[in-house]
Every structure is written in C-alpha cells, then in structure tokens.
Amino acid sequence: MKSDVPNKVQIVGAPIDFGTGRCRLDALSNLRRTPHILTEWFRNRLVCSLPEPQFITPNYPQLVSKHKTPLKYDIELTATFLSSYRSVPLSRNTIPLVIGGDHTISILTAALARRNFMSNEQLGVIVFDAHSDFNRPLPVAKSRYEIKPGETISGNANGMIHSLMGQQCSGDYELSRFCRKFAQIDPSRVVIIGYRTNSYSDLNKTIRNASPLLLTASKLREADEQTRSFIAKLLVMRATANFSKPCYISIDFDAVDPRFIPNVLSPVPDGLFIEDVSDMLDRISSFLDPSLLWGFDFSELCTSDNYIAEVQAIEPILRSSVSLLDRVCGNSVN
C-alpha cells in the first residue's frame, strides 16, 4: 500500500533516558542537550518545509520505578509516549524526525508516523545499531539461572523496542499495549546494519524471536562498491516488503565504532566507520520510494561539553540524512 508522498519534516526533540534507568542530572544533561543541538543543525540545512519543532517532556520517575514489573519504567515510559503522541500536532503526510535520547524514542517515531499518514499499516525498520533490541521482559524468575532464551533480567526498554512494537512480548504491559494500538512494526521487516555481539545466545535469541535481516559491521566494511549497492537494494526490499509497504529509518549512534563516536549510551567495539553509515544512507536513498519513508530518528548520542567537535565528526551522517529527507519531500539540496 502506497501513501501520498511526504511533503514536510516535523522535528521532535525527545530527551528520554529510561533505557538504563539513569535519572541523575549528570546523565540527563548530556541527553537533554543533544536534541536541541541537532534540531538547530537540521533547521539550518533542511530545504523541505519545517513546522515549528516540538520538544517533549519525559515523565521521569523520582529515583527508581515504584512499579515492580519485569519491564523497567513501564508505566512512566507509557505515560511519556502517550502524552507526547497527543501533544505533537498532527500534520498530514509529514515525516517525524525524532531526536533522542535513548532508543526507546523509536516507539514515538513509529506512532507519529502511522498517525501522520492516517494508517494502521505495520512499519518496516531500517536501523543502524550494534544491538538487535529484540529482548523480551523476564516473566517470573527467582534467579538468573531460570532465564529462558530470548528474555532479559535488566528490564531495560531500549533493548526490547522491536519486540514491543512487533508484539512479541509476553505479559500485559502498559508499553506493549501502547505499541499494539499506536506503534506496530512487522518484525520480519526489520533490517539491522552494524550488528555485532560477542554472545552466540544473543544472536540465537534474535533469530528465534523474529528473523530480522542482520548485516554485521565487519561484513559491510569488507564489501566493495558493487556489493554495497546490492546490499542497500536488498535492505530496502526487505524493509518495504518488495517496495510496497512503509518503513522508517533509525540511527542509533552505537552502530559506529566508539573510536569515532565514544559518547554513546552502549558503546560496542569493532563498529562501523562514520563513512560507512553515510555511504549506506546515500545508497538506500537511491532505492527507496519517497512514498514509503514515514519516519526518521537518531538516538543514543550523549554530547559532551565538546559538542561542536562531536557534531562535526558525525556531519557526514547528518548531511546524508538531510539529502535523503529532502529528496523524499521533493526538494534538492544545495
């Protein structure tokens, strides 16, 4: 099913850090700064029409969650997403560009995308990430030795967003109900670029839970020009169900090797080069039908006091994103 072609980009700043439960001011200040910095960067460079940027206010718990569920901050996260979903103005055929924050912001991206395009269509996802985010909350266990494959004792939502949106979490969670109503994805149409893990159990869990398409950082770095173009086309085909259904793009900056972007929430060594991400965005853009891109987000970047240098380092990624968004909205980049 194809929609009308997007004609605007709505920037939404989402300084959320529920992923690890870090609610201290020193941790939050870096994440709160990133959405504002990147919002100004995009406003100065996007050619397409831009409604006034929106900034959401997370519903942070005081110190720790009072709700003892296997999914950390279940009720607080749901309240944040529900209030954000309602407070961001509806704008037809408008791509939400959500800037976080931890990777739970992708739930808001999917919800706003489906609302703006007036559709209950399940979305595909093209995600740059070191992790699969297909964990599931642990139902009931007295010790870690009782954990079943595919479950997690941490309860951190940023590690289970694809399971939540793909309706693969057992248990009656507030956040799972929100995703079922507003933010559904098709787990089989999730493609992960830059995936890497030292745990075979994590890889087996990911495959068993959803069978997404995984492109490891090492395989992408080894690919020549022709192979990269073939890979980009394959990724778009998978995420859009053979160029027929909508998707969104998600960039978790921990996909990049921490030598180049050290200030992320969950750094993993042996990642992508910055140029790898930029190059793949350009190639994906050439194969992606403009009517099928419904959302875009950035997450996990913790800008420090040296944020000017950090933004300059990731500019190739940002510029490729601008080029893609402007092409989708029918504008050329100067």
**pLDDT, tens digit (0-9, with 9 covering 90-100), for 107-153:** 999 999 999 999 999 999 999 999 888 888 766 544 444 555 556 76
End-to-end Cα, the chain, rounded Å: 32
Q: 294 near 3, Cβ under 8 Å?
A: yes
What's the predicted TM-score (pTM) here? Answer: 0.91
Token digits for 111? 């919800």
The strand order across the sheet containing 247-252 reads 54-55, 8-14, 94-100, 293-299, 247-252, 123-128, 185-195, 213-216
- pLDDT tens, N- to C-terminus, the chain (334 residues): 445 788 899 999 998 887 554 444 444 567 678 999 999 999 999 999 889 999 988 877 654 545 556 788 888 899 999 999 999 999 899 999 999 989 999 999 999 999 999 999 999 999 999 988 888 876 654 444 455 555 676 778 888 899 899 988 777 789 999 999 999 999 999 999 999 865 545 555 555 556 788 898 999 989 999 999 999 999 999 999 999 999 999 999 999 999 999 888 888 999 999 999 999 999 999 999 999 999 999 999 988 888 899 999 999 999 999 999 999 998 654 4
- Reported for 306-312, long-range contacts at CB under 8 A and 24+ positions apart, including other chains, are 307/33, 307/34, 307/37, 310/261, 310/263, 311/37, 311/38, 311/41
Output Rg (C-alpha) for the chain, integer angstroms: 18
CATH 3.40.800.10 correct for 8-328 = yes
